[in-house]
Structure 1
Amino acid sequence: MAKVDETAGGEGPAAVFACLEVMKKRADFLACARARRQHTPGFVVQGRKRGEGEALRVGFTCSKKVGNAVARNRAKRRLREIARAVLPGAGKPGWDYVLIGREAETARRDFALMQDELRAALDKLHG
């Protein structure tokens, strides 16, 4: 039986977040809150430049306005998937991004449309 090379072929889930680091400290979220922001119908993106040559970081948050715990977690899961798909290509190293869910829109909005909105929002933040 031939040995299968697991590194050849497609990428696994761990490789997708290779260039992304998840923010967890309140101070990092507050620093992003004082920086630039871009509103979209499905969510809000906050971004700030930290420094050159550092890893790209991302954070996710939803307030109780989004709904109960189930609704907030669903909205955050969708934001995480959008970030996994878009940030490795459109994000810049050394930047922090915070994606904030919006009431009733983040959980129901079309996924492909939200990806396009994130790309457009990042272009405006960087420009």
Structure 2
Amino acid sequence: MKQFAFPKYERLLKRSEFVQFTNARQRIHTAHFILLWTHTEDSTLKIGITVSRKVGNSVIRNRVKRLVREFYRLNKSRFVMAHYNIIAKKGAEQLDFQRLSRELANVLERLHK
């Protein structure tokens, strides 16, 4: 079960960690998400999730973040060692877990090409 954990050292938490994505040219857009990533010298896997107020109120934003975290937790092995920021666009609140998983899985496939 520990292989499916989402420990604190795998999360982007500080503002300085998110600022590194401001000029990131490596990005993939989908209908509901933007995936930004940057390779780092420490070769660790970290993920940050950004959901703006345009998506909805706090309850809805937290639900979207929970779903994205769950996708990451279950598909961690499909991510390449890098730092990722998954940004939810307006409309992401309407996705159920299956549709969200399908969309993010397609993003990961495009990432590995």
Q: TM-score, normalised by structure 2?
A: 0.82
Following superposition, the deviation at residue 65 of structure 1 comes to: 0.5
Q: Find the counterpart in structure 1 of residue 103 from structure 2.
A: 117
Could you tell me how far 1:25 is from its partner in structure 2? 1.0
The structural deviation recorded for 1:73 is: 0.9
Bigger Rg, which one: 1
Provide Cα deviations, 1:51-73, integer angstroms capped at 9, x if missing partner. Answer: 36x22000011111011111111
What letter matches 1:112 in structure 2? Q
Give the Cα–Cα distance (whole angstroms) in 2 for the partners of residues 106 and 18 of structure 1: 22
In structure 2, how many angstroms separate the alpha carbons of the residues matched to 1:123 and 1:101? 18
Q: For residue 50 of structure 2, what is the aligned residue in structure 1?
A: 61
1:17 Cα deviation after fit: 3.0
Tell me what 1:90 maps to.
78
Aligned-pair Cα RMSD in Å:
2.1
C-alpha contact (below 8 Å) 1:48/1:97 kept by paired residues: yes
- The aligned residue for residue 74 of structure 1 is 63
Number of positions where the alignment pairs a residue of Structure 1 with one of Structure 2 = 111
Counterpart residue type for residue 105 of structure 2: R
TM-score by length of 1: 0.74
Aligned-residue sequence identity (percent) comes to: 32
Q: Which runs of 5+ in 2 are unaligned?
A: none
- Contact 2:56–2:93 under 8 Å retained in 1: no
- The more displaced of 15-24 and 76-85 is 15-24
- In structure 1, list runs of 5 or more residues that go unmatched: 1-10
**Counterpart amino acid of residue 37 in structure 1:** R
